[in-house]
Amino acid sequence: MNRLSLVTWFFVLLSATASAEPPKERADTVTIPLDQIWANFMPGTRDIHTLEPEVFSMEASRLPHDVQARRSRESLINQIARKSQPEPVEKDGPAIMPNPRPAFAVLGTGREALEAAATVFANSRKPRQSFPEGSEISVVFFSYRAGSRVQLVKVERQGKTIRIHYRFFGDGLMASTSHLALIPLGELPAGRYQVEIVQSPMGNRYTQAAGQIMKDWGDRLVCQPFSFAVSEQEAE
């Protein structure tokens, strides 16, 4: 066999060996549809108010005013809206809002997740850090009141990383609104998960300077990243 044939055979063998090697592990990206997410005032999502029909349904609106007022005060959504807004902090100057607290995870979906979120906010309890494998888990995403509304753009999971993409929309002149979203993750395998909060641009019509303003708003108004664990055994 001549030199050229040996070189050719070597590269053929090398190519065959490379193709026989298993591909590098790459986690598939799972997108959570917006219409599976419960939220308030976020286009494309489920209306979170439908989780409390005893307060926000047409039937409830026909009840006596005193009953409506009592139910409104006891509403889980309204409790979260009141308790999730922090008090301004006064230091060596004008009062400023403290940095937003991290988002967090809760057990369950829908009404169960709403009740768990209200327990954290209304009772000032620390969010749960670990969950048993095989349980339904939801992420609680929220923002403070602001003139521009917050919109979820996309939620995706790739391996042990969950990315929540959001953006501001509006011109800053809207009525002051806070936001809440319950994002169902389903059942997750054991491991530690990192939840990233990613701000998306508002659109091409906004200048770079405006984009920086939006970035500053995100840092001051929208919940922060966090992590949680899923374990093979029940965790408290």
Per-residue model confidence as pLDDT tens digits over 24-66:
445 588 999 999 999 998 999 999 999 999 999 999 999 999 9
| Structure tokens given for 158 | 């790739």
**Who wins on pLDDT, 164 or 126?**
164
Segment 150-177, tens digit of pLDDT: 899 999 999 999 999 999 876 554 556 7
Nearest of 228, 8, 22, 199 to residue 100 by alpha carbon: 199
Contact status, residue 154 vs residue 31, Cβ threshold 8 Å: yes
Domain assignment present for 195: yes
Number of domains the chain contains: 1
Determine the average pLDDT of the residues in 184-196: 96
Domain assignment present for 22: no
Name, in order, each residue with C-beta under 8 angstroms of 130's C-beta and a sequence gap of 6 or more: 228, 229, 230, 231, 235, 236
> What pTM, to 2 d.p., does this model score?
0.79
The pLDDT value given to residue 173: 47
Domain assignment present for 222: yes
Task: Give the residues across from 146 on adjacent strands.
Answer: 177
* 21: confidence class by pLDDT, cuts 50, 70, 90: very low
Domain assignment present for 9: no
**Who wins on pLDDT, 161 or 178?**
161
Domain assignment present for 90: no
Domain assignment present for 2: no
Positive/negative CA dihedral, 153, 46, 159, 141 = positive
Domain assignment present for 182: yes
| Structure tokens given for 222 | 């929208």
| Vertex 75 angle, CA 73 and 77, to 5° | 120
Contact status, residue 51 vs residue 110, Cβ threshold 8 Å: yes
Domain assignment present for 37: yes
The pLDDT value given to residue 48: 96
Domain span holding position 112 = 30-85+100-231
The pLDDT value given to residue 15: 45
Backbone phi and psi for residue 234, each to the nearest 5 degrees, phi listed first = -60, 135
Whole-angstrom distance, CA of residue 32 vs CA of residue 46: 13
Contact status, residue 182 vs residue 110, Cβ threshold 8 Å: yes
In one-letter notation, the amino acid at residue 82 is R
* CB atoms inside a 10 Å sphere around CB 97: 14
CA torsion 195-118-60-44 (nearest 10°) is -10
Task: Give the residues across from 197 on adjacent strands.
Answer: 164
pLDDT more than 90, % of the chain: 55
